[in-house]
Amino acid sequence: MIKGVAASSGIAIGKVFMFEEEEFIVEKRTLTDYEIKGEVMRFRKAIATVREELKKTSKSAFEKLGKKHSRLFDAYSMILDDPMLKNGVIKMVVKEKVNVEHALQFVINEISQSFMEIKDEYLRERSKDIIDIGKKILKNLTGTKINGLKDILSEVIVIAHNLSPSDTIAMRKDKVIGFAIDMGGKTSHTAILAHSLGIPAVVGLKNITRHIKPDDMVIIDGSQGIVVINPDEITIGNYEREKKKEQEVAKELGKLRDLSAVTTDGHTIELSANIEVPEEIPIVFEGGSAGIGLYRTEYLYMNRDDLPSEEEQYKQYSEVSKSILPNSVIIRTLDLGADRMSKTMEALAERNPFMGLRAVRYCLKHPEIFRSQLRAILRASVHGNMKVLFPMISGLDELKIVKQFMDDTQYQLSKEGIPFKEDIEIGVMIEVPSAALTADIMSKEVDFFSIGTNDLIQYSLAVDRVNENVADLYNPLHISVLRLIKMVIEKGHMAGKWVGMCGEMAADPAFTKILIGMGLDELSMSAISLPKIKNIIRSISFSSARELADEVMAAEDQGDILRMLRRDELSRENRKK
């Protein structure tokens, strides 16, 4: 039994699938003289296809990102034409009579090794490009072998060192019934997605991949953050019973779907859902949401070689917006960067990506991408009830620049005679401490705030949200975090603006009462969590929530806060009995 970080609740029992990202297992095969010519032709054809693909990617990167980014793909094409690679592989196939995959892997290894020995850092880094090109050709030669989780065809539990958010979103929920990985924290996007998709998951296990073999059987207990390897019959029986119980509780909570989230003394909280892709909308309805409180648009940019066009974005945003009517959708502009990379961004490789060119910062450095998204959002705004939310805003100056982009885009659309909602509401995410501390100043410039605790906690406590080594230090109840949240709510309300929360803290039943007591107007979370949060809201009074929040806010000791919450929970449980 191994303990990690509980990322997504639920129990899964099944066979293991060890996932290694883009690992190609290439076998060596000896050719007959008769086969050699065909093998060389196969190689030339693969090179030609990859060259065409690169040309397309380069063109699209040039159009959307400019010369700087398209250059990477041009450099890839040059590697492809390098005689060292081309002739090297052909020579080996002909002379040693081996299959082209084997020859290619050998030659790529040789070339990348020689680059790695170069002193110049820039050139040394190019060894990665060479390996990348090798993979592209190999992929082409080997056809459709498993190279992504979407290709898994039988029910499995995925075990991996790490999974990126783009790997996770590509999973088929009916096939990947659970996963466990060495890396990650509770609010990493891999964990958030597992939660949204309803896949039980444990992350931050540090070395689970060393303990598990391909044919093992495992149990994932996503609520406790436990993985049991090769369990005996009794353990399997216990977990199966536990799973059934969880399903019954979920069924019972499902009955709350059409009821509102109102406290026993009549205070209503808006409960809405976070989504990443439109495919989640049926789950949003099942959860009984009052709308979409956070639509993370960056997922449209992932798992593809090109950027989505304005038209494609317009279609997707309109579709989401229409489907959720009469409720509203808060559409967040791109939060790419850090743990969420599009393929066109991979070259960025920053040293400290969470502090780097992420979200609105990335958009401001790539105005063409930002403008195209704003145009698509504004065009789609006439089809529903849409609000816009800007991520990672650090203060008033940045907010003003972003608003200027909005104004310019609106001006341009009016000039073109394209309709859009002129009074569209604008909000900022409060997820950087500097934004929380200047919420009073920014409140005059926006219609609402949405507190992003996933980042607010990581930036306030200097605890990387995806780093398993500091996962135990990630503390939503830290007095500093609570003070920042309280401050934002107060400043927002003083200016007559509503304040919501869309970070994972909003989805944790342990925090519901204190968050309501602090005065939040809205809580937005993965739709799967909505019933259990609604259940709590309907069982508490606003006045007692306020008392609890006041008591907690006056505490100086972290232990005291935990004791206060525990005591309150126990008294609620006793009253229920």
Q: How far is the CB of 192 from Mg ion (least distance, A)?
A: 10
Query: Is the separation of the CB atoms in 8 and 222 below 8 Å?
Result: yes
Residue 211 annotated as catalytic: no
Helix (H) or strand (E) holding 128: helix 121-142
Among residues 13 and 502, whose Cβ is nearest to ligand PEP? 502
Among residues 452 and 492, whose Cβ is nearest to ligand PEP? 452
- Told to check if 60 binds ligand PEP by CB under 6 A, we report no
* Dist CA 321 CA 382 (whole Å): 9
Quickly count: other Cβ atoms within 10 Å of residue 153's Cβ.
9
Among residues 182 and 335, whose Cβ is nearest to ligand PEP? 335
- Told to check if 431 binds ligand PEP by CB under 6 A, we report yes
Q: How far is the CB of 453 from Mg ion (least distance, A)?
A: 9
Which residues are at the interface with Mg ion (CB under 5 A)? 431, 452, 455
Provide the 3-class DSSP secondary structure of residue 419: coil
- Told to check if 280 binds ligand PEP by CB under 6 A, we report no
Q: Which does 167 bind (CB under 5 to 8 A by kind): ligand PEP, Mg ion, none?
A: none
- Told to check if 432 binds ligand PEP by CB under 6 A, we report no
* Dist CA 462 CA 352 (whole Å): 12
- Told to check if 337 binds ligand PEP by CB under 6 A, we report no
Q: In 3D, which of 510, 486, 368 has the Cα closest to residue 436?
A: 486
Q: Which does 502 bind (CB under 5 to 8 A by kind): Mg ion, ligand PEP, none?
A: ligand PEP
Q: Can you spell out the DSSP letters for 459-475?
A: HHHT--TT-GGGGGG--
- Told to check if 276 binds ligand PEP by CB under 6 A, we report no
Site for ligand PEP (CB under 6 A): which residue of 39, 101, 167, 335?
A: 335
Query: Is the separation of the CB atoms in 424 and 386 below 8 Å?
Result: yes
Q: Which does 512 bind (CB under 5 to 8 A by kind): ligand PEP, Mg ion, none?
A: none
Site for ligand PEP (CB under 6 A): which residue of 454, 460, 512, 535?
A: 454
Residue range at the interface with ligand PEP (CB under 6 A); choices 28-36, 321-329, 452-460, 555-563: 452-460
Query: Is the separation of the CB atoms in 374 and 424 below 8 Å?
Result: no
Quickly count: other Cβ atoms within 10 Å of residue 188's Cβ.
29
Site for ligand PEP (CB under 6 A): which residue of 177, 334, 399, 502?
A: 502
* R_g (Cα) of the chain, nearest Å: 26
Q: How far is the CB of 452 from ligand PEP (least distance, A)?
A: 3
Among residues 186 and 379, whose Cβ is nearest to ligand PEP? 186
* Dist CA 231 CA 227 (whole Å): 10
Q: Can you spell out the DSSP letters for 352-365?
A: SGGGSS-HHHHHHH
Residue 183's alpha-carbon distances to 149, 343, 449, in angstroms, are 17, 21, 31
Among residues 136 and 296, whose Cβ is nearest to ligand PEP? 296
Among residues 202 and 294, whose Cβ is nearest to ligand PEP? 294
Longest CA span, the chain: 86
* Dist CA 453 CA 481 (whole Å): 8
Q: Tokens representing 286?
A: 């099942």
Residue 502 annotated as catalytic: yes
Q: Which does 102 bind (CB under 5 to 8 A by kind): Mg ion, ligand PEP, none?
A: none
Residues that bind ligand PEP (CB under 6 A): 294, 296, 335, 431, 452-455, 502-503
Catalytic residues: 189, 502
